[in-house]
Homo-oligomer: A and B are copies of this chain.
Amino acid sequence: MSILITGASGYVGQELAAALLTTLPSSTVTLTDVVLPTVPKSAAQHGSRAQCIEADLTNPSVVDSLITSTNRYDTIYLLHGIMSSGSEANFELGMRVNLDATRYILDRLRTVTPGVKVVFTSSLAVYGLAPSGYIINESNFPAVPSSSYGSQKLIIETLLNDYSRRGFLDGRAVRLPTVTVRAGKPTQAASSFASDIIREPFNGRPAVLPVAKETEMWICSPATVVRNLVKAREIPAEKFGDSRSVNLPGLKVSIAEMLEALESIGGKERRELVEERYDADIDRIVQTWTPNFDTKRALELGFVGDVSMRENVEMYAKSLGSE
């Protein structure tokens, strides 16, 4: 079992690599990113089955040497990308990394290892503004993105569907909720604050909340996202039907509820490290994300539901204690 992960230096990439190395004893995992990835600490004992490669995937010859017919991967996880704020701020860069590099990888894969399994992390940002309270599933609402990031994700989903229909590849596009609580550093995602407001206080640092506390978000704990990414490769192709795109399970939660969980588990002094400072640019993007999803299709395909906000924050607090 040979697996390639792109964007493997990122938070989700690292967590996924650790999970694959730990749960698939016969697997070899190749981690690649524009910054040389490291083997996740939590999987250090499986380091002999991991390979780390620095690779700029916007360079076709780099992709060509990474993906060859003699070095066939069983599954490719495409996690690389410029995040939402970054793609909005730098249109050309987002197009080059999120669209062109990814398309080139798909074309390289279908040429040298046709039919190979590809798991693509898409995003619920493929959806634009929904009517208030409207509960979205995969078949009752059009994907009309309100950001360049969402547009680029939707275009790759569309290619992956067509490539899968034609038998070029076996694609699975999983639309991730906002992943929180993420360890590591604040990111260029417009949703970065949703982790920052928990993580930073737990590490004794201040955090900024750029949107109103009443804002509701559709989130998912890292543990559940990783379980579902592992699951994504195990689902038989024929179960997907006409579309390879799936809205992953998550949890609808208000920022106020997140802050309550923070205070309840971390105490008042941690809660007080969160400063409310409105940012119109971030808010404009976040307000286009609906928090209302019906993920029956995902659950029927075998993906798992998320934990409560409280359990989520507890898991994060516990992970700090164990380091």
Q: Which residues of A contact B (CB under 8 A)?
A: 91, 128-129, 138-148, 151, 154-155, 158-159, 161-162, 165-166, 242-243, 245
Contacts and interface: CB of A to CB of B under 8 A. Distances in A.
Contacts of A143: 142-143
Nearest to A154: B158
A291 to B, nearest CB: 18
Given A140-B140, A146-B165, 19 more contacts: A91-B166, A128-B242, A128-B243, A139-B141, A139-B142, A141-B141, A142-B142, A142-B143, A143-B143, A144-B243, A144-B245, A146-B242, A148-B166, A151-B159, A151-B161, A151-B162, A154-B158, A155-B159, A158-B158
Among A145, A148, A158, A159, max chain B CB count under 10 A is at A158
B161 A144 contact: yes
A125 to B, nearest CB: 12
Within the oligomer, what is the number of copies of this chain?
2
Contacts of A146: 165, 242
Contact of A242 (B129, B138, B245): B129
Contacts of A129: 242
Contact of A151 (B128, B140, B147, B158): B158
A243 to B, nearest CB: 5
Contacts of A139: 141-142
A167 to B, nearest CB: 11
A285 to B, nearest CB: 12
Contacts of A142: 138-143, 243
Given A91-B166, A128-B242, A166-B91, A145 B159 contact: no
Nearest to A141: B142
A165 B148 CA distance: 9
A214 B317 CA distance: 63
Contacts of A151: 158-159, 161-162
Nearest to A131: B139
9 contacts: A91-B166, A128-B243, A139-B142, A145-B158, A148-B166, A151-B159, A154-B158, A155-B155, A155-B159
Nearest to A143: B142
Contacts of A91: 166
